[in-house]
Amino acid sequence: MDTETLTYLFVGLSFALYIGIAVWSRVGSTKEFYVAGGGVHPVLNGMATAADWMSAASFISMAGLIAFLGYDGSVYLMGWTGGYVLLALLLAPYLRKFGKFTVPDFIGERYYSSAARLVAVVCLIFISFTYVAGQMRGTGIVFSRFLEVDIDTGVIIGMAIVFMYAVLGGMKGITYTQVAQFCVLIFAYTVPAIFISILITGNPVPQIGLGSEVADGSGLSVLEKLDGVLQDLGFAAYTDGTKSTIDVFAITAALMVGTAGLPHVIVRFFTVPKASDARRSAGWALIFIALLYTTAPAVGAFARLNFVDTVNETAYTETPDWFRNWEDLGLIGWMDKNGDGVVQYRAGAPFDGKPRFAGEARGVNGERLLTNTTTATPNEVYVDRDIMVLANPEIAQLPGWVIALVAAGGLAAALSTAAGLLLVISTSVSHDLLKKTFMPNITDRQELTYARIAAATAIVIAGYLGINPPGFVAQVVAFAFGLAAASLFPAILMGIFSKKMCKAGAIAGMLSGLIFTFGYIVFFKFIAPGMNTPDHWLFGISPEGIGTLGMVLNFGVAAVVARFTPEPPEHVQHLVDHIRIPAGAGGAHAH
C-alpha cells in the first residue's frame, strides 16, 4: 500500500473514531456540555488534559523551533512544562472546589460583579481566538501535505471535523475524544523519533540518543556534530544561545504563567468529581506531557541534522521527493542565486519574507520561480519551521505507515486543542454573557442551543484566522500565552489568595494587562515589524515575552486601585477562606 493510501486510511480511521465518540456521548444538559457531568476519572482527565494542552504548537511546531533556534528553543520546553506545575499547585484544586463551570464564572462570583465577568469574557475570547488560529493553521498544513489539497482547503476540512464533535458532544464528547487523540498523537510522535534515533545513533531511546555518539565512526556526539556542521555553514553553534538573559526569563515566565491562566486548560479541572482529583489530574497530565516534551529536543536535533545532510550541496534535480512536495505547497523554497543548479543552504535570510511564487512558472532546473529573492546572503533555501516534524519521517526515509501515522498524530494534536478552545469560547458566550449577564431567564435547553450556535460561529472565525494567520504556529500560540499571563492569571491568583482584592482592582488590572500586552504585540508584529529588534524592545523584552511585563503591570495596577477602593463584602471574604480549605478536606461544593 502506498503512503498516500495509508495516510487516507489512518486519518480516516482516526476521524471515524473521534466522530463515533462524539455521537456516543451526545449531551442533553448544560452540565454535560460544559464539564462532562463532573464525573471524569483523574487518569482519563489527565490524558484529555494532555491532549488539550499539547496542541499543534507542541506536536508540529515546537521541535521545528528547537531545530532552528537550538539552545534558544529551550524556553518553550521550560515555560510550557513549568506552567503545568504552577497550575497543579496554585489553581486547579481551588478552582475545582469553587465548583463553577467557567473561568469568567469564577471571576464574576469572586469579584461580585457583572463587569468583572464581562472583562474576563473579553480576555478569554482574545486569548482563545489567538490560540485557535495556530491550531487551524497547523491542521491546514497537515491536510495540505498529506491529502494533497491547498492549505486553505485543509483548514476548511479541519473546521468541519471540529464542528462535528465539539458542537454535538460538548465537553463530554471532547473529553473522551481527547483521550483517544492523546493515544494517537503520543504514538505518532514517539515511533518515528525511535526509528530516527536508531538510524542516527543506534540507540532506540531518543532522549538518550540526543547525547549519544553519531553512528558514522566520527566519535562525535549528535550535538557536537550538529555544532560543527552548522558553524561550517556560517550559522551559530546549535548549543549557543543568542537571546539575552532577560528575554529568556521573560518568555519562560510568560509561557509558564500563561499555561496556568489558559481557560481551556483550567476548565478541564471542573470535569472531575472532587477537588483532590483536580490535583491528581494535573499530576497525570504532567506525566503524559513529559512523554512528548522530553522527546522534542531529540526530534529537533535529528531533524536539523538530517535536513542539512539531505539538502545541502545537492543538485536540485536530485533532491528527494519530499523536498519538491513541500515546495509545491510553498513551505520550502529554493532560488538558484549562483546559477550552478546546486542547493546551497547557508546562514542568512534567503528571501524577503516568506517565499512568494510566480504562479506555476518553473525555472531551468524545474524549481518554482520566486518573486521576492534577496541577493544579500548566499543562502538559497527557505524552510517553514512548522514542517520539520511532519517532514522528518520522509527525510529519514522511514516506511509509509510511519509517515501516515505522523499525519494522523498532527491532526489529533491540532484538533483536540481547537475543540477545547472552541468549547471555552461557546460556553463563555452562552453561560457568562447570556445566562449570567444579558438573558438570565433563558432555560437550560435554550442555553445549550446558544452554546452550540456560539461554537459554530467560533469555528468560522477560527477558520478565517487559520487561513490568514498572524505568524507561524508556535509563535501565534506564544502570543496567546502572553495574553493569558497578562490578563486572567493575576485575577485568578489574587481571587484565590487575597481576601482584600476587590472588583475595581481586578477589573483595572485585567484591562491594563490585556491592553498593554495586546498593544505591544500588535505594534511590533503588524504596525512596525521593521522595528521588531532588541534595540527597540522595552527593557530588551520581545513580543513573545512581553506577557510577563503585562502580568507585573496587572498586579501593580490591581494593588494600587484596591488600596483606594472599598474592600470586598464579608461574604466574599468568607468565600475565599472556604475555597482555600486544603484539597480533599471537604466536598467540592460552591459556597
- CATH classification at residue 56: 1.20.1730.10
Let me know whether 31 and 101 are in one domain.
Answer: yes
Would you give the DSSP letter of residue 432?
Answer: I
Number of Cβ atoms within 10 Å of the Cβ of 584: 16
Give the model's pLDDT for residue 586. 47
Domain's final residue, options 395, 423, 449: 395
Cβ atoms 91, 266 nearer than 8 A: yes
Let me know whether 270 and 386 are in one domain.
Answer: no
Let me know whether 328 and 435 are in one domain.
Answer: no
Would you give the DSSP letter of residue 51?
Answer: H
Let me know whether 241 and 293 are in one domain.
Answer: yes
Give the model's pLDDT for residue 427. 76
Exposure letters 457-481 (e unless 16+ CB within 10 A, then b):
ebbebbbebbbebbbbbbbbbbbbb
- pLDDT tens for the chain, 591 residues long, are 777 788 888 888 887 877 777 676 655 555 555 544 455 677 888 888 887 777 777 777 788 888 888 888 888 888 877 877 787 777 777 877 776 656 788 888 888 888 888 888 887 887 777 777 777 777 787 777 777 777 788 888 888 877 776 665 555 667 777 788 888 888 888 999 999 999 899 899 998 988 888 888 888 898 999 999 899 988 888 888 788 889 989 989 988 888 776 666 777 777 777 767 777 887 888 888 888 888 989 999 998 998 888 888 888 888 888 888 888 877 888 888 888 888 888 888 888 777 777 777 788 888 888 887 777 888 888 888 878 888 888 888 888 888 888 888 887 777 777 777 777 777 778 877 787 777 878 887 887 788 778 878 888 887 887 787 665 555 566 777 788 888 888 998 898 888 889 989 999 999 999 899 989 988 887 788 788 888 889 998 988 889 999 999 999 999 999 999 988 888 888 888 887 764 444 444 444
Let me know whether 538 and 458 are in one domain.
Answer: yes
Overall number of domains in the chain: 2
Let me know whether 246 and 261 are in one domain.
Answer: yes
Give the model's pLDDT for residue 474. 54
Has residue 221 been placed in a domain?
yes
Give the model's pLDDT for residue 590. 41
Let me know whether 424 and 510 are in one domain.
Answer: yes
Let me know whether 502 and 551 are in one domain.
Answer: yes
CA atoms within 13 A on the CB side of 477: 32
Let me know whether 8 and 58 are in one domain.
Answer: yes
Cα distance between residue 180 and residue 326, in whole Å: 29
Let me know whether 387 and 469 are in one domain.
Answer: no
Domain's final residue, options 395, 425, 446: 395
Q: Tell me the pairing of strands 381-383 and 332-334.
A: antiparallel
Cα distance between residue 2 and residue 572, in whole Å: 64
Q: Cell 498544513 identifies what position? A: 141
**Cell digits for 491?**
485575577
Give the model's pLDDT for residue 423. 75
Cα distance between residue 155 and residue 167, in whole Å: 17
Left, alpha or beta for 9 (phi > 0: left; psi -120 to 50: alpha)?
alpha
Which candidate, 367, 396, 365, 384, places its Cα nearest to that of 299? Answer: 396
pTM of the model: 0.78
Would you give the DSSP letter of residue 202?
Answer: S
Has residue 591 been placed in a domain?
no
What length does the chain have? 591
Cα distance between residue 19 and residue 137, in whole Å: 21
Give the model's pLDDT for residue 96. 74
Domain's final residue, options 370, 395, 420: 395
Has residue 256 been placed in a domain?
yes
Give the model's pLDDT for residue 168. 59
Cβ atoms 240, 70 nearer than 8 A: yes
Partners of 370 in beta bridges:
357
Range of the domain at 355: 312-395
Q: Cell 532577560 identifies what position? A: 246
Has residue 195 been placed in a domain?
yes
